[in-house]
Amino acid sequence: MQMSSVPLIIVNPVAGPSASRLLERDRLKLALKRRRLVPEWIETRLDYDAGQIIDDNPGDGPVVVIGGDGTMQPAATRLVGSDRPLLPVPRGSGNVFARSLSIPPLLDRALRLLETGKTIKVDVGRMADEVFLLGVGIGLDADVIRGADRKLKRHVGGLAYVFAASQMLPVKHHEFEIEVDGRRFRERAAAIHVANFGTRAGPFRLPPMADGRDGMLDLVVMKAEGLEEVLNLLATPLLPDPAQSKAVRFERGRSIQVRADKDLPVQIDGEDRGDHPGLHCELEPAALTVLVPPDSV
């Protein structure tokens, strides 16, 4: 893809290890100069996310977002339904979306896709006025995300989730009413996750099943009421057939509703969204344009 318009470059200045941030700025300046681009970018703040930056900078050029999954999500919410491409450059503690698209982790190689990459369309999920790239969860996974100290995450990455999860034993379970494309059932579970991309439900690993180009959402019901179920849940990704796990139930659909027996923590793409009585997720197929490596399938 040869650039016909100047890209909008958005940087989360607190994404990634704190020790490397000054070095990252120097690398970004150098990488932009190599592409004969003005070495300027706009940084997100707690009160000014990537979506708001896009609103303030309309255009048709690529949007380069340098950060983690939580930085990508508001950008995707603004870009969905348009042909303006998103180039996600991984710099957070998770980076599941960028990794799922085979975006190179090295800054210069990722920015090279402005010249050599191709555009594809990917699915997103929608919940109310937001879209999600990876997934949404209610219950334990959202509770762990809420409990993970932000400063600790910057220093030790995913280990912050392990520490947060260890503070929540024994795991609380709740009664859920679930509807998938009109099919209704009930489950007692620790968490419910609706996945679009990736192999994680918040801090928990999942089988490599959620494909953001298959026109479906994946429902994951997670149980961890006793030690046996906790071990089964942790071992699920290693099974030859994860669907046989006693700790997890999988369903697929385009419209998924979940109602809990009380207000519970909810997360969207790894970011806390407060307490809610349930989830209502709808698939929007091929709704987001992204820039990926030329050999990406």
What is the DSSP code string of 213-228?
TSS-EEEEEE--SSHH
Domain boundaries, the chain: 8-123+288-292, 132-285
Domain at 132-285: CATH architecture: Sandwich (2.60)
Phi first, then psi: give them for residue 100, nearest 5 degrees: -65, -25
Angle at 211 between CA 166 and CA 181, to 5 degrees: 90
Structure token digits, residue 285: 């197929």
CA distance 125 to 191: 18
Residue 31 is inside which H or E element, if any? helix 21-34
Counting DSSP H helices and E strands in the chain, the numbers are 10, 16
Class of domain 8-123+288-292: alpha beta
CA distance 236 to 191: 15
| Nearest C-alpha neighbor of 200 from the set 133, 261, 128 | 133
Other CB atoms within 10 A of residue 93 CB: 23
CA distance 223 to 233: 7
Distances (CA, A) of 248 to 89, 223, 276: 32, 6, 22
Q: Do domains 8-123+288-292 and 132-285 have the same CATH topology?
A: no
pLDDT of residue 8: 96
Mark 234-271 as b/e (b = at least 16 C-beta within 10 Å): eebbeeeebeebebbbbbbbbebbbbbeeebbbbbbbb
- Sign, Cα dihedral of 168, 174, 179, 184: positive
Residue 170 is inside which H or E element, if any? none
Residue-level length of the chain: 297
pLDDT of residue 165: 47
pLDDT of residue 164: 43
pLDDT of residue 14: 84
Stretches in the chain below the pLDDT threshold 50: 149, 151-153, 155-166
